[in-house]
Amino acid sequence: MEAPTPASVATSAGDVRAARHRFVSPARRFFVTAALCGVVVAQPVLDLLGDNPETFQVNRVVDRSIVLFAVGVVIVPPLAVWSAGEVVRLLRRSLGEMVHIAVVAILLGLFAVLVSKEVTDRAPVYTVLALGAAGGGAWAYRRFEGFGTWLRLLSAANLLFLAQFLFLAPVADRIGADGPEPVGVVLDAGPAPVATPPSVLMLVFDEWPTQSLLAADGTIDDVRFPNLAALGDESTWYRRFTTVSPWTPTAVPAMLDGINPHGEPSWQDHPDNLFSLLADSHNLIVSESITQLCGFDSCGVRPVPPPPPVDQGTGEEAVPVAAPLVEIDTGPRWRRLLDTVRDSWARRVTPGRRPAGDAFDEFVEEVTAVAPVAAPETLDDDPDAGLSDDEIALERFLATRVLAQPNRHQLFVDALRPTDEPFLGFLHLMLPHQPWTIRENGTSYDVAADRVDYARDQSDPWPVAVTRQRHLLQAEYADRLLGVIVNRLREIDEYDDTLIVVVSDHGAAFEVDEPSRSLSDANLEQVVYVPLLIKAPGQTVGAIDDSNVNSTDVTPTIADLLGIGLPWETDGRPAGSDAVTARGEDKYVYSFGEPFDYEFLGVVDFDAESSFAELLGGRFPSIGPADDRLAGLYRDVPGRDLIGQSAGSIFGAPQGAATVVELDRLRTPDGDRPQLGEIAGQVDDVPDGATIVVAVNDRIVGVSPLYQRAGDDNSFVVLLPTGALAPDRNEIRIGLRRTDGAVVELTV
């Protein structure tokens, strides 16, 4: 072997010095870290949130706080990672250099996953590419000065990511924009009615398809929905009623002004509506959510009771009782926003299938409950008296949350009080809207941590059926709340003569590989057919009306029953009119894009006769009065006859194993959190046709077919009945039922 020449020695020494210089300079290390964090963290996060500005709205992060968040996304991750490496370097230089190289390798691997997810859903491909990019990139970084220089120059891309977010993305409109004008403008309600009309109560449910109501004979299922059925016995049920939009911001305004979808869901864009029509003749008891169509001083964030009746003895009005307030926290919800960002970022840059329609705010309504507290003072006529603008905005925000609905319902019921004057009571209740985590008795439950998107699992007939059953339980609870309102009207002697309207803004679909709300040929009838029941003043005999009515006909029908002319033009007509009859079987619905985009996609025309026949054919199995609430779910599942029996008398010797999600939480529930409402997991290879049998505390509580979820074969899920889990400790046992009926136990 030849001895090295002086030139070669000099070159080698120069390479070593150059390599050392690359790693010795803290600034160089920071810019390399910033470049890789930019393409792995800042770009995905800012791109996703830039297209979903409502994520900031629902977390009360507005205006300059959005800018602060964006700058933090660009600066904080690289600064934190770089600082950790520098601390290690101070303790031991060689170890610090190893940490820096490891950081470069990890970030390059994550970037490879991020890029590959755009072209493939195969997790093994992600893993191979990530390992190759990590190893090859780290080697190139150590070996070639040019690669390090290129990475440092790439750090400037962070400025481009930030500029695109702040100036070009949809969220830019939320930065520095003026807030909504305060309510309080008196609208022109048109001529006042000649005679004093009766009171009106309108209850709008949310995301409740007609298909969920149906019994085997096409009537309202009086086992699941006894209060709705009882109201139907004294009302007219417009069984073929359809919405004109699958989304609340356009569906509710169409009901209230009788005009096809247009504008924003505010009174500024819909000045002529049911509230302006009746404001001169009725006391307004209004509780909206999502929309703000009532622009009067009396329409705030809480319903205002009507004036009490005049005391016949003294001629003086009774002193009103203060309505309860809601506990208020007006600060930004930084922690929840950061948790959302973390979870969504992890799904995008780690191996695994990228969720379809990935968005931070697809289910903007899901949050925590609010509990009522005692009012510090009597409320004035102004329902927003004593509240700051931030507090008002927060209460409107809370009005959209599913677990807050019981509190909103109670506030509305408390506002229904005896009065000498007619009132318009309006409550838009966000039930039985997803997330479906409320049982028929009103208790809430959780799904397992890695199954938070389970409400959207449309991958297989079994999870679709479980999801639909969860919806039905929440719908049963909504029916209970309807019963409370009807009973309250009876208590204050207003039921008989009040015009009562019960309606849903839109439905929801439960079909394999179909969206729950965006329209398609397969889901249309489930999304557009929704309940409408109208009890005219003095009506005592029920009727089913199959005429072709839709959302725009609701307010014209109310006005017709009250004998009031509408002072504006509408697309809708009163039910029973010649104009409705002339429509024949021709129906339509406006189609929009995904939530918070609402791109108008066109008007979908469809036939009432054929679509309603599809609706009747897809109803969920009925249950009898003595059946368990989940009996319909298990009707066609092998092993359903085992439910309720002792596991000790059914399970055979252990053979095989099963993995149960959040097993420790099932075994030892946390008293500070709702219990889990399902038992889910995977099992080893099993024979075809086998089903899973789940037992809690020796009682078999459910069975499940095996299906594929997120690429995992042999997944199972069992929806737990009410009271299945004890509050302190539980024994969870999993069995495998073969096609011959034998059940063997699986080791958990």
3-class secondary structure per residue, 52-112: CCHHHHHCCCCCHHHHHHHHHHHHHHHHHHHHHHHHHHHHCHHHHHHHHHHHHHHHHHHHH
Structure tokens at 211: 């298909």
Q: How many domains does the chain have?
A: 3
Q: Whole-number mean pLDDT of the chain?
A: 82
In angstroms, rounded to a whole number, what is the distance separating the alpha carbons of residues 703 and 695? Answer: 9
Parallel/antiparallel/unpaired status of strands 586-592 and 325-326 = unpaired
**pLDDT class for 379, splitting at 50, 70, 90?**
very low
Per the DSSP assignment, residues forming a β-bridge with 204 are: 428, 503
Which comes out higher in pLDDT, residue 310 or 722?
A: 722
pLDDT tens, 210-240?
A: 999 999 899 999 999 999 999 999 999 999 9
Mean pLDDT value across residues 10-34: 67
| Residue 376 maps to a domain | no
Q: Is residue 104's pLDDT more than 60?
A: yes
Same domain, 169 and 205: no
State how far the Cα of 430 lies from the Cα of 376, in Å rounded to an integer: 28
List the single range of 158-167, 372-381, 520-529 with lowest mean pLDDT.
372-381
In a domain? residue 308: yes
Q: Does residue 730 share a domain with residue 684?
A: yes
- Beta-bridged to residue 743, according to DSSP, are 737
CB contact at 8 A, 214 and 220? yes
What pLDDT score does 180 carry?
A: 36
CA-to-CA distance for 617 and 610, rounded, in angstroms?
11
Task: Give the mean pLDDT of 323-346.
Answer: 61
Identify whether residues 657 and 727 lie together within a single domain: yes
Please tell me whether residues 609 and 681 are part of one structural domain.
Answer: no
Residue 705: phi and psi, rounded to 5, are -65, 165
Query: Can you give 408-447 as a three-state secondary structure string?
Result: HHHHHHHHCCCCCCCEEEEEECCCCCCCCCECCCCCECEC
d(CA 393, CA 301): 8
**Residue 286 in contact with residue 275, Cβ under 8 Å?**
yes
**How confident is the model at residue 10, as a pLDDT?**
42
Asked if residue 145 and residue 55 are part of one domain, the reply reads: yes
Predicted local confidence at residue 361, as pLDDT: 29
Contact present, 474 and 704 (Cβ < 8 Å): no
**Per-residue b/e over 719-744, b at no fewer than 16 CB within 10 Å?**
bbbeebbeeeebebbbbbbbeeeebb
The CA radius of gyration of the chain, in Å to the nearest whole number, is 30
Is 606 found in the same domain as 687? Answer: no
**Same domain flag for 463 and 591:** yes
- Rounded percentage of the chain residues whose pLDDT exceeds 70: 80
CA distance 240 to 532: 9
Confidence of residue 453 (pLDDT cuts 50, 70, 90): low
**Same-domain status, 603 and 649:** no
Q: Which of 524, 514, 505, 548 is nearest to 603 (CA)?
A: 524
Summarize the confidence of residues 595-619 as an average pLDDT: 85
**270-305 per-residue burial string, b: 16 or more CB within 10 A, e: under 16:** bbbbbbbbbbebbbbbbbbbbbbbbbbbbbbbbbbb
Confidence of residue 265 (pLDDT cuts 50, 70, 90): confident
Q: Are 442 and 409 in contact (CB under 8 A)?
A: no
- The dihedral of CA 22, 23, 25, 28: what is its sign? positive
pLDDT of residue 355: 39
Tell me which of 174, 208, 226 is where a domain ends.
174
pLDDT confidence bin for 381, thresholds 50/70/90: very low
DSSP line for 134-190: HHHHHHHHHH-HHHHHHHHHHTTHHHHHHHIIIIISGGGGGSSPPPPPPS-PPP---
**Count of other CB atoms within 10 angstroms of residue 212:** 26
Q: Which two tokens stand for residue 640?
A: 């359903």
The set of residues, in sequence order, having a beta carbon less than 8 Å from that of 715 and lying 6+ positions away, is 680, 681, 682, 706, 707, 708, 709
Look at residue 632 and tell me if it is in a domain: no
Q: What do you get for the CA distance between the two ends of the chain, in Å? A: 64
Same domain, 155 and 210: no
Break the chain down into helix, strand, coil percent, rounded to 5.
Answer: 40, 15, 45
Within-domain flag for 184: no
| Rounded Cα distance, 334 and 65, in Å | 10
CATH of the domain at 714: 2.60.40
Q: What is the pLDDT of residue 7?
A: 43
Q: With pLDDT > 90 as the criterion, what percentage of the chain qualifies?
A: 53
Q: Between 517 and 494, where is the model more confident?
A: 494
Q: Which of 114-123, 416-425, 681-690 has the lowest mean pLDDT?
A: 114-123
289, 428 Cβ separation under 8 angstroms: yes
Residue range 388-394: average pLDDT?
54
Residue 626 maps to a domain? no
Domain that holds residue 20: 9-174
180 or 34, higher pLDDT: 34
Express each pLDDT in 496-535 by its tens digit: 999 999 999 999 999 888 888 888 888 899 999 999 999 9
Tell me the CA distances in angstroms from 85 to 37, 131, 285, 439, one per residue in order. Answer: 14, 22, 61, 50
Higher-confidence position of 586 and 593: 586
Highest mean pLDDT among 512-526, 540-554, 616-630: 540-554
| DSSP letter (8 states) at residue 529 | B
pLDDT (average), residues 472-481: 96
| DSSP at 454 | G
Strand partners, 283: 423
Q: Are 424 and 199 in contact (CB under 8 A)?
A: yes
Residue 452, classified by CB atoms within 10 Å of its CB into exposed (0-12), middle (13-18) or buried (19+), is middle
Report, as an integer, the average pLDDT of 433-456: 77
Average pLDDT over residues 439-455: 74
* Length of the chain counted residue by residue: 748
CA distances from 681 to 368, 380, 699 (A): 26, 54, 19
User: Region 294-312: what's the mean pLDDT?
Assistant: 78
The pLDDT of residue 451 is 60
611 and 647 assigned to the same domain: no
Please tell me whether residue 556 adopts helix, strand or coil conformation: helix
* Residue 367 included in any domain: no
Q: Which pLDDT score is estimated for 60? A: 61
Burial class (CB in 10 A: 0-12, 13-18, 19+), 182: exposed
pLDDT of residue 101: 92
406 and 528 fall within a common domain: yes
CATH of the domain at 554: 3.40.720.10
What letter represents residue 407's amino acid? Answer: N
Element counts in the chain: helices (H) and strands (E): 22, 19
At 695, the amino acid letter reads: A
For 674, list phi and psi in degrees, rounded to 5: -60, 150
8, pLDDT greater than 70: no
**Cα distance between residue 60 and residue 392, in whole Å:** 12
**Alpha carbon of residue 174 to chain centroid:** 22
Region 398-402: mean pLDDT is 63
Do 44 and 125 share a domain, yes or no?
Answer: yes
Condensed to tens digits (0 to 9), the pLDDT of residues 123-142 reads 778 788 888 988 999 999 98
Lowest mean pLDDT among 89-93, 202-206, 266-270, 324-328: 324-328
Could you tell me if residue 94 is inside a domain?
Answer: yes
Calpha distance 174→64 (Å, rounded):
10
Torsion of the alpha carbons at 513, 518, 521 and 526, rounded to the nearest 10: 90
Residue 553 has pLDDT above 90, yes or no: yes
Q: Is the dihedral of CA 133, 135, 140, 141 positive or negative?
A: positive
Residue 519 covered by a domain: yes
Confidence of residue 374 (pLDDT cuts 50, 70, 90): very low
Handedness of CA 567, 573, 575, 581 (dihedral sign): positive
